[in-house]
Amino acid sequence: MRVPRIYHPVSLLGQTQCELTEEAANHVGRVLRMQVGERLELFDGSNHIYLSVITQVSKKAVGVEILDRQF
């Protein structure tokens, strides 16, 4: 299965967890219907891709844990 790639406007360098923006959370939670435990890739414009896993899903928020950083 394909891993969705989601843009995050704030630098993720050095972070281990983050919360997606409201727009991204809506896309992940309602459009893609992703659940806790599923993986996604985040990118922040710094030429890095962050492999992440969803840790929390609610109507307006999605929390993720960053597992790995790729260049």
pTM: 0.91
If pLDDT is split at 50, 70 and 90, which confidence band does 45 have?
confident
| Domains and their CATH numbers in the chain | 5-70 (2.40.240.20)
With beta carbons less than 8 A apart as the criterion, state whether 51 and 13 touch.
no
What pairs with residue 18 in β-bridges? 64
Asked if residue 10 lies in contact with residue 40, where contact means CB atoms within 8 angstroms, the answer is no
8 A C-beta contact, residue 10 and residue 44 = yes
Q: What is the mean pLDDT of the chain?
A: 94
Helix (H) or strand (E) holding 55: strand 49-57
Task: Give Dmax (Cα) for the chain.
Answer: 32
